[in-house]
Structure formats: structure tokens, C-alpha cells
Chains A and B, each alone.
Chain A
């Protein structure tokens, strides 16, 4: 009886529908001509004969959620109509991709799993436009990327293939600034850094080093300090070796930069021992500065401003071309920068432990 009913009903249905089963288990009916726009669904219907009834519903890939499916169907619904002009299609596309980046990524993934190439291209281009021209920090913020590269990895973004000392110097300076920023953040949020430091091998917080520099009396964690001492001693030896290296490099450098900043030397040394910027600066060059009494607990607000400005400056510089950056960094305000960097090392990282 029911079969006869079905036979009667069917011819009256003008539009053909297919059944789709979404990742969350729910089943949905969609006009066939729209669904067929997706190669995946098309294949399932034609090759496997699926989708004709609720029981026989086409299982959509897991990446396609109900909300994404409705977006994709909107896209298909518009584009499968042959009558639209190219201008209309372009205009639709532009409006279509206006959504938050998270959704855009999910949509790309869903469209890819349904093999809907035009939509994959559209969303990919949109994502590329978002990435284009932004600094790594900006990109990380937009896409919520974890900042999990070690200093070492960040130090050599291009694996320094050309061994261009300018590039290496730049990497050092950049990394140093990043580190300082992060250290300050860390100090605000988290007290203990042990776990993190150990994880990354010989990376250790500048904090600890500073405590050593500052003479231990403010440091309640004596255990750590003694550890540092030992590590530092090891590092010193490395530094001696690297000193030779750097002096050779210095000779090689043919930039013609007159201002051979002591910064530069210090930084190159810092390269081999990764993080001991402050320590190295101290021991090798400016012992006197640290013996000064101007090592405060609090950051002098004027200094803080200076630091912020410098960071902004740095960001701006990094956004422009490298050689230009180099020139800017090394030639302009060389003197100022020298003292700046050293004094920030000395004073900007307060010991806030109790």
C-alpha cells in the first residue's frame, strides 16, 4: 500500500532531493541540483547511488558541520544558476567571504573535503589576503597561533644560508627584543620559570641571570642561583671561543659601517650561547655599568617609555626591508642605542619576587 502511495506522490515532486547526513548525525534534505554542484556529493550519487532516501543518506565528511553546510549550500545555490553575470558572481563572492578568520578556515577545510574547488580557491585567497603584509606577531594574534618556537629557532629564520653577518646580526637583535618583551610579560603573569626553561634545554630566563648579576641578595631562590653560576661558568668558556670567531667575522664584514657597536660584538657572542645577552654584555664589555647603583627594582617610567618606543621602532624597522633595516639600526643614533640596550638590560627587568 505504501509503495503505491509513494508511486503516486513521486511524479508530483518537481524538484529532486537528496539526503545528506552531517557529522553530528542529523539528516537533511537538499535540492539535488544544488547539492550536485559539489563533486563529492555528485560522485556519491552517480557512482554509488546514494542519497535517494533517508536511510541511504550520503555521509558527509566529518569536517562539514551543519552551519558550514548551510554556507556551502548558499554558495552552490547562487553559482549553479547559469544566468548570473561575472560581475554579479564576483560581487557575491566578495560578500560571501566576509566572516571571521576562524570560520573562514573551517569553511576552507569543509569545502576541500567536498572537493568544491571554486569555493576552496575563494576562501584560500581570502585567507592569503589576511596573511599578506603582516608581521609574525600580527598573524599569530589573528589566527591564535601558539608562540612555541624556541629562541634558537627564531634566531635563524632563514637558516642563515648566506651567512651574511648583517642578517645574523639582525636576527640577534630581533630575537633579543622579542625575548625582552616576553620576559616582561612572563614576570607579570607567572612566577616560576623553571619548567619552561628546562624544557628547552639550555634556555633560561634572563631573570635568573639578572639575579646573579644583581648579586644574589635579592634572590630568595638560592638553589637556582648556584645552578646559574655553574651554567654561566660553562658559558664563559664557550664565549671565549666565540670571541675569536667574532673577531674574524668583524674583519670579514665589509659593510663599511663605521659604528662598530659593542652591541654587535656582544650579540654575536650571544648567538653561540643563546640567551645570555645580559651576562655576556656584562662580563665582556661593560662591567662598570652594572656596578653602578642605578639598578633599580622598579622600571623607571621614563625608561619604560623609552623601551616601548624602541620596541615600536624595532617593529617598524623589521617590517621594512632588511638592508634598509640594517642601515637604520647601525647608522642612526648609534650612540644612543648603545647605552639604551645596555641600560635596559641592566635595569628594565626588575626582580619582583618576594
Chain B
């Protein structure tokens, strides 16, 4: 073939390529988005997938290096060694710049050893601590550590020196809280299924978080039998944890025993989980707007009434479950309130919504619903959600409830 022919070939080839290239460019909308937007899009994906985008095209190749978020999951990776190598590699290779969000989700890796037996391995705590320290060194703002398989992770106390952390979420972690906690930027904290050494250290913890706005606590302590199994013969001592007032706290989802401490008094939205015997001296919650109580034993219903007394401006009340420990208690007599006692202020002036869940027609559930319906003068909606009942039962209950006198004129009644 002559030179001329050859060059013609080249020309055709080049123009064809150029054409397809420009077509591609026109249709490729996503690559023209700025890096910050692409980072934002990729921040919703696990880091594993983010790194894989480096295979897409030249534009995407260096993108993952400058990602400000990390989301490491053990899921989808079958070898523990590979997981550790991967996290190490990414932390080393990524640009050294402040981390916006760092999430680490560990799990137990199961490997078949010599084809004979299974070996269960988890990321060693020393490794996890190195990763945590790295994140803190890089001024991480949002830090999450959780476990995929309900096994406790032991976390180092380096978390408690994360001066830049604004959001901290720990799940299935065992914490040893040091005496001095420095989390000055912390605004949101969720400790769910966290094991502590004792409840008093919560005081230490929360005292170091002056700016805290949102708090979710579901903690337990070693040798804690769980509230429900505690002996009947326990002393009726109020269980208190002395925490200073958290000025900025707006939302709290905590154990009911914390209600006694002054920590929560500024909240507007409170969700209580009643597992220990409820405390008696309840401070006044001036700003409380919404109260949600879960798992109340019928014995403590009077305590619920006390709570209502302490929340003069309560507008929304939700009770998620009233139960009996012992079926024999079902027939118990008694009144919710002494006749001489005043109706709680909030019922008279503020309560607008009342919801009761897991209703099964039992006497005390009916009592409280009736009491509120009767006394709440500005109530707008009352919703009662039943457990599964057959139609007749349901109808009977509906009638009973609907026929209660209502203190408010504009009250709508929702029953399902």
C-alpha cells in the first residue's frame, strides 16, 4: 500500500474517532458537574464504590482522592485482610484534608481455614483505634462507628478528644469514658446499644459537651440485668445521674432515669424509654413541646401523670406501649389520679395531640385514654392504634372510647 493510501486511512480513522469522541462529550452530562457536586453524589456511596469510579474515565480517575467523606463497610468484602488493607490504602492515598464524614461499619469475617473449620475474625481494636485517630487528626466533623452484627466494638478513648467532631454516632460500642472529655463542638450525639462502665461516667461525658443539641442515649452497663429483670425487692431509691444542664439541648431520646438530672430541662422534644424504675422528683420542663414515652408498665402510669404535671406547655403526647409484667395484674383496681389532684396544666391549656399505640382494650389503657379525652380542653386529635384484634373486639373498643365525654369541642378521633 502506498504512503498516500495509508495516510488516507489515518485521516478517516482519526475523524471517526473525533466524531465519536465529541458525541460522547455532548452526552456526558455528569462529568461536566463540578468536583464538589460529584463528591456530594459519591458521598452517598460506600468508599469501595467510590474508589472504583477511578476506572471510569480520565475525569473520574483522580476524583476519589479528594473525597471529603469516607464510608467503610465490611459488607461485600469477604476477607478481613483485604478489608484492613483497603481501609489503610485509602486513608494513605487520599488527600490529606479535613474529613467531613467518616463512617466505619465493622463486621465479623468468616473464613474457612484449611477447608475444615470456620474462623471468625474481627478487625483488631488496635487497628480501629488507629483509624479513629487518623480521622481525628484530619479534623473529622461527623464520625460514625457501628457494628454490623451486634457484637461490641471496643473503641479507644481518642474519640473523646475529637475537638472538631460535631456529630458522633456510636452503635454497639464499648466505651471507657475518661475523666476528661473534650468535645466542644459536639452538637449531635447518638449512643445506641453502647456499653459503659457505669452510669455515672455519663456525667463526665455530657459535661464535656456544652453545645449539645441532640442526644440519643440507649446505653447499658456491664452486669446490668436490664431494667426488666431487676429484682422485685429492690430499694425504691431514686436513681440519679448528676449532669449539668445542657443549655442548647433541644431533642433528647433517653432513658427515663435521666429525667431527674437537670440536663434535659431545656428540651423541646423528649422521648423517654422507661427501663429503670422511674424517678420521683421530676423537674419542670418549661419548653417541652413534645413528649413520647415508650414501654410503660402500668404501675408507672401514675408517674406518667406526674410527668404531665411537669410539662406545662406540652402540645403533643405519645405513649407507645403500656404493658403488664404479670397477667394477674390486669384486673387491678385503682384510679389513675386521686380525686383531689388537679388536672395537669398542659391538658387544660396546651395539649393538642394524643397518640396511644399497641392498644389492646385493657383497662388501664382505656383509663388513660378516657382521662385525657375528658380533661384535655384544646385537644385536636386523638389517635389510638390497636394491636391486632378481631372485628368484634375492635368495634366494642371503638364504641367504648367514642362514647367517652370529650373536654374539647374540636376533637377528632382516629381509631385503627
Contact = CB atoms under 8 A, between A and B. Distances in A.
Contacts of B1: 220-221
A121 B44 CA distance: 10
Nearest to B50: A131
B403 interface: no
B12 A191 contact: yes
Interface stretch (B73-81, B129-137, B229-237, B350-358): B73-81
Interface string B1-29: 10000100110111011000100110111
A152 B43 CA distance: 28
A221 B28 contact: no
Nearest to B10: A192
What's the dominant secondary structure at chain A's contact region? helix
Interface string B26-49: 011111111001001111110001
Interface in A186-223: 189-196, 220-221, 223
Interface stretch (B56-64, B175-183, B377-385): B56-64
A153 interface: yes
A162 B81 CA distance: 11
B380 to A, nearest CB: 14
Contacts of A105: 29-30, 32-33
Interface string A156-171: 0111011010000000
A146 B37 contact: no
A128 B28 contact: no
Contacts of B6: 192, 221, 223
A90 interface: no
A146 to B, nearest CB: 5
Contact of B28 (A131, A143, A195): A143
Nearest to A322: B82
B52 interface: yes
Nearest to B14: A195
Contact of B30 (A101, A112, A147): A101
Nearest to A120: B40
B12 A158 contact: no
A196 B57 contact: no
Interface stretch (B85-93, B100-108, B275-283, B386-394): B85-93
A136 B44 contact: no
Contact of B21 (A133, A136, A143, A146): A146
Contacts of B164: none
A140 interface: yes
Interface residues of A, number: 50
A139 B37 contact: no
Contacts of B85: 161-162, 164
A131 B49 contact: yes
A127 interface: yes
B90 to A, nearest CB: 9
Nearest to A107: B29
A321 B45 contact: no
B66 interface: no
B28 A146 contact: yes
B9 A191 contact: yes
A148 B57 contact: yes
Interface string A312-323: 000000000111
Contacts of A322: 82
B13 A143 contact: no
Contacts of B78: 321, 323-324
Contacts of B54: 157
Q: How large is the interface on B (under 10, 10 to 19, 20 to 34, 35 or more residues)?
A: 35 or more
B55 interface: yes
Contacts of B32: 105, 109
Contacts of A121: 40
Contacts of A191: 9, 12-13
Contact of A106 (B29, B31, B40): B29
A189 B49 CA distance: 33
Contact of A131 (B17, B41, B61): B41
Contacts of B25: 146
Contacts of B9: 191-192
B53 interface: yes
A144 interface: yes
Given A139-B56, A321-B76, A161 B82 contact: no
A353 to B, nearest CB: 9
B343 interface: no
Interface string A96-112: 00000110011011001
Contacts of A147: 57
A179 interface: no
B336 interface: no
B13 A128 contact: no
A177 interface: no
Contacts of B191: none
A151 B102 CA distance: 33
Given A146-B25, A193-B13, A195-B17, A321 B30 contact: no
Contacts of A140: 56-57
A145 interface: yes
Interface in A83-100: none
B24 A144 contact: yes
Contact of A145 (B10, B30, B88): B30
A25 to B, nearest CB: 22
A244 interface: no
A195 B49 contact: no
B318 interface: no
B51 interface: yes
A170 to B, nearest CB: 12
Contacts of A190: 12-13, 16-17
Contact of B44 (A125, A149, A158, A192): A125
A161 B29 contact: no
Contacts of A109: 32-33, 37
B141 to A, nearest CB: 17
Contact of B37 (A124, A149, A221): A124
Given A145-B28, A145-B57, A191-B9, 17 more contacts: A105-B30, A108-B41, A109-B32, A128-B45, A131-B49, A144-B28, A145-B31, A146-B28, A149-B61, A157-B54, A164-B85, A189-B16, A192-B12, A221-B1, A223-B6, A321-B77, A321-B79
User: What 7 pairs between A and B have smallest CB-CB spacing?
Assistant: A128-B44, A144-B27, A105-B29, A192-B9, A161-B89, A192-B13, A136-B55
7 contacts: A128-B45, A143-B29, A144-B29, A149-B55, A157-B54, A158-B51, A321-B82
